[in-house]
Amino acid sequence: MHGYRGKVAERERAREPRAASWTLQEIATELGVARSSVSSWVRDGEFTPRPRSTARRHGPNVLQRRKAAEIVELRQEGRRRVGVLCDRDLLVAGAALYAGEGVKRDGCVSFTNSDPRMVQLFCTWLRRTFEVDEQRVRLYLHDGLDLDGAARFWSTITGVPPEQFTRPHRAVADPTIRRTEHEMGCVSVRYGCSRTHRAVMGLVDALLECPLVIPG
């Protein structure tokens, strides 16, 4: 949402959790806005501080359940709208994916990501769109995490055998972070062919310069 109407809607969304004793920071985090904005929106609203308690809250509250239900609903709607990809759909989707995440410098097709779905989509697109022989994979993983397990995982996702994995990069974990969100790390899938890279960039350019057909 943008502009005045968007701000009014966000303000109204902020009032309900405030009345349910959410803190300003909790509301700001939920809505993805600044704490100062929330403060001005709910200044004249009702607020009863939560009583201090050492007991842990059991289960999600009403707003959290509503949020979870909305996420499920909209994911299902997204699947209905996208449906099944035909070859042309895959061609365009892969070009868009590479436009956002792929390496642009000439000489090598390279895609790096930690999301297995995106990596798998890229590998499928690359093999369906071009004649590709041998691919290389480099794994980026924090020290202390299971390197062999991560290699097996990404080999399954990419379809690239472990012997075609290059020397992994082991990053030093940040001690201020209690846990990593990427236990399997991330991978860089590479195909060293200048002509293929130039063909990929040709698709990217065509996508970004393609005229839009706007109904009406």
Q: Is the pLDDT of residue 178 over 80?
A: no
For 123-150, write each residue's pLDDT tens digit.
999 999 999 988 999 999 988 888 999 9
Residue with tokens 């985090």, as numbered in its chain: 29
Residue with tokens 């706007």, as numbered in its chain: 214
Query: How large is the average pLDDT for residues 51-56?
Result: 54
For residues 4 and 148, the model is more confident at 148
For 91-124, write each residue's pLDDT tens digit.
999 999 999 999 999 989 999 999 999 999 999 9
Give this prediction's pTM.
0.69
Torsion sign, CA atoms 51, 57, 58, 62: positive
CA 211/CA 216 separation, integer angstroms: 15
* pLDDT at 2 (0 to 100): 44
Q: How many CA atoms lie within 13 A of 130 on its CB side?
A: 24
Among 1-10, 29-38, 65-74, name the one with the lowest average pLDDT. Answer: 1-10
Q: Which residues pair with 110 in a beta bridge?
A: 190
Query: How large is the average pLDDT for residues 9-37?
Result: 77
Q: Is the pLDDT of residue 4 over 70?
A: no
For residues 183 and 56, the model is more confident at 183
Q: Which residues pair with 140 in a beta bridge?
A: 169, 186
Q: Which residue stretches of 102-191 are H helix?
A: 116-129, 147-158
Cβ-proximal residues to 145 (8 Å cutoff; 6+ apart), any chain: 180, 183, 184, 185
Spatial CA neighbour of 128 closest among 157, 89, 161, 162: 89
At 27, the pLDDT band (50, 70, 90 cuts) reads confident
For 74-96, write each residue's pLDDT tens digit.
999 999 999 999 999 999 999 99
Q: In the structure encoding, which two tokens stand for residue 214, read together?
A: 């706007």
* pLDDT at 24 (0 to 100): 81
CA 155/CA 162 separation, integer angstroms: 6
For 63-76, write each residue's pLDDT tens digit.
888 888 898 999 99
Among 50-59, 176-185, 195-204, name the one with the lowest average pLDDT. Answer: 50-59
